[in-house]
Amino acid sequence: MISKSSIIELINDKLETDGYFLVSVEVKPTNAIYVLIDGEKGVSIDYCVEISRLIESSFNREEEDFSLEVSSSGLGSPFKVLRQYKKNIGKEVEVLTNEKVKITGILADVNEDFFIIHEEKEIKTEKKKEKTVITHNFGYNDIKSVKEIIRF
């Protein structure tokens, strides 16, 4: 069986050299391989094809048959690795907490332990509504998902 680690070892240097990063690799017991990559400015289809060809040329289908899918992290897909959080600093995101509460705001800061969201809310006072910014600190274990919000 083709191992996850052999695929990571095979493509990681190329991804780094080309300015991309690995989000995930999954190898199913049926030898179905799924590779998800990302980059600071997204990933083109041509680059996905290039990585796919690199993987295909490194394994012998005569010895071990496999199916392969290489894709980029799509718009609206949840973040999976720290580097995805970092590339989205300053952008609007939606956080779904473990308690199933959705919070929308600007991703303000990120580190290995937590990230910060600035949520703008209107608060009713006696005379009018006032906008205020609420700062939320989230540990990665406190959330189900975070994804970028795309507005048109």
For 33-86, what is each residue's pLDDT tens digit? 999 999 988 899 999 999 999 999 999 888 889 999 999 987 778 999 999 999
- Delineate the domains of the chain, giving CATH numbers in brackets: 4-72 (3.30.300), 82-148 (2.30.30.100)
DSSP state string for 50-108: HHHHHHHHHS-TTTS--EEEEEEPPTTPPP-SHHHHHHTTTSEEEEEETT--EEEEEEE
Predicted TM-score (pTM) of this structure? 0.85
Quote the mean pLDDT of the chain: 93
Geometric angle at alpha carbon 10, from 37 and 30, rounded to 5°: 75
